[in-house]
């Protein structure tokens, strides 16, 4: 009971949400001066808030230096738990807004370009038409990965991710869940103006010295292509332009000069618009599951649930959900 009394009298009454927000802002910008400029207040007032927090908690939260500030172990603990508390509060406000207006809300999505240009486009088109007052915020993330810092920092509600392998029973690790929507294999693609688009019989050996534009050969799509050439006893393709940009690849390949590898979902959404054509060459032994990744034990608001349901429906039209590997 004494600890509860100490919390109420010494900490709980003096720990304000505004002060925590100031602390988060200082950590984000690594400087009290930059945090002050962002919040539109003076630097001394920021220093006073941080000093008050440290006095209330009885520990040093930040180490100061002429170059800025960094969190101590105590600061890291407050940052992690404080973010979770703020996130739950934000989710509560969003739930209230949704109850007041079931056709409104907010969804924050992390998504790499290779999925944004495929699955995400029809999902957003459908939802923005059916729920015009829902607001969507899309943040570019890099996948495949098992880290997902944007989720841990609660900058996004979910991540549409391309996984390296299928998750076991929908779980990536102790902190992350993953619901596989469909397998999105890569296809070899040329423009309709390309000489290869008019050839009935095309093999990998024909394409070795042709100009390619695609991801680096150690990235997921590039690795599939490199492995296909290697297993066929061929040297790597002539990678003239290395880029992760789907937009750039679509335009360059559409001109008829280049060859690339694109996820099937991207080809389906963008093929007609950019005059793209799939070559009749299958890349062997590849699996490219697209999944919705979320934090375990995190409450997802109604608008986010609407997004997930719509993503499931769109995914069904793109491909079948792959079966998990045994063992």
CB-CB contact of 324 with 169 (8 Å): yes
69-82 residue pLDDT tens: 889 988 888 888 88
CATH number of 186-278: 3.40.190.290
Sort strands 186-191 and 238-242 into parallel, antiparallel or unpaired. Answer: unpaired
Of 54 and 234, the one with more pLDDT: 234
Nearest in space to 259 (alpha carbons), one of 223, 217, 211: 211
Residue 11 has pLDDT above 70, yes or no: no
The mean pLDDT value of the chain amounts to 86
Alpha-carbon distance values, 235 to 201, 210, 229, 285 (Å): 20, 12, 6, 18
Residue 223 has pLDDT above 50, yes or no: yes
Which listed CATH number (3.40.50.150, 1.10.10.10, 1.20.1730.10, 3.30.110.70) goes with 2-82? 1.10.10.10
Which residue's entry shows tokens 């060459």?
281
Query: Does this chain's domain 2-82 share its CATH topology with 186-278?
Result: no
Q: 102-178+296-318: what fold?
A: D-Maltodextrin-Binding Protein; domain 2 (3.40.190)
Alpha-carbon distance values, 209 to 200, 201, 226, 239, 283 (Å): 19, 17, 13, 9, 18
CB-CB contact of 100 with 71 (8 Å): no
Q: Count, in order, helices (H) and strands (E) of the chain.
A: 13, 12
Is the full-model pTM beyond 0.75?
no
Secondary structure class of 110 (helix, strand, coil): strand
Q: How do the domains of the chain map onto residue ranges?
A: 2-82, 102-178+296-318, 186-278
The three-state DSSP-derived secondary structure of 189-211 is: EEECCCHHHHCCCCCHHHHCCCE
Rounded to 5°, the CA angle 181-187-188 comes to 165
109-137 residue pLDDT tens: 999 999 999 999 999 999 999 999 889 99
Task: Determine the pLDDT at residue 52.
Answer: 86
Residue 321 has pLDDT above 80, yes or no: no
Task: Determine the pLDDT at residue 13.
Answer: 58
Mean pLDDT of 307-320: 87
Return d(Cα 13, Cα 212) in angstroms, integer: 63
Least confident of 11-15, 27-31, 170-174, 188-192: 11-15
Task: Determine the pLDDT at residue 1.
Answer: 39
Chain centre to alpha carbon of residue 96: 26
Strands in 218-258 per DSSP E: 238-242
Least confident of 15-29, 235-249, 299-313: 15-29
Task: Determine the pLDDT at residue 6.
Answer: 54
């Amino acid at each position: 009971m004494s600890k509860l009394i100490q919390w109420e009298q010494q900490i709980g009454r003096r720990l304000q949400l505004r002060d925590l927000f100031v602390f988060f802002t200082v950590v984000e910008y690594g400087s009290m001066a930059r945090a002050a400029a962002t919040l539109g207040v003076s630097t001394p007032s920021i220093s006073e808030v941080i000093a008050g927090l440290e006095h209330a908690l009885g520990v040093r939260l930040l180490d100061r230096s002429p170059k800025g500030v960094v969190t101590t172990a105590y600061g890291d603990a407050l940052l992690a738990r404080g973010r979770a508390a703020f996130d739950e509060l934000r989710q509560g406000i969003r739930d209230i807004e949704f109850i007041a207006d079931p056709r409104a809300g907010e969804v924050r999505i992390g998504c790499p370009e290779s999925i944004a240009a495929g699955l995400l486009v029809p999902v957003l088109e459908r939802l923005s038409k059916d729920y015009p007052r829902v607001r969507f915020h899309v943040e570019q993330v890099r996948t495949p990965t098992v880290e997902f810092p944007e989720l841990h920092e609660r900058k996004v509600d979910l991540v549409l991710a391309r996984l390296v392998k299928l998750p076991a029973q929908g779980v990536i690790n102790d902190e992350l869940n993953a619901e596989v929507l469909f397998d999105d294999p890569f296809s070899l693609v040329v423009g309709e103006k390309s000489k290869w688009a008019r050839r009935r019989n095309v093999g990998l050996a024909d394409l070795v010295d042709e100009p390619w534009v695609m991801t680096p050969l150690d990235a997921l799509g590039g690795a599939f292509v490199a492995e296909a050439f290697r297993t066929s006893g061929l040297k790597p393709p002539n990678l003239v332009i290395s880029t992760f940009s789907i937009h750039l690849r679509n335009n360059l390949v559409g001109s008829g000069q280049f060859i690339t590898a694109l996820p099937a979902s991207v080809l389906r959404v963008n093929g007609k618009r950019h005059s793209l054509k799939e070559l009749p060459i299958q890349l062997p032994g590849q699996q490219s599951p697209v999944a919705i990744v979320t934090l375990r034990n995190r409450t997802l608001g109604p608008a986010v649930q609407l997004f997930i349901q719509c993503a499931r429906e769109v995914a069904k039209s793109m491909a079948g959900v792959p079966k998990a590997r045994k063992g």
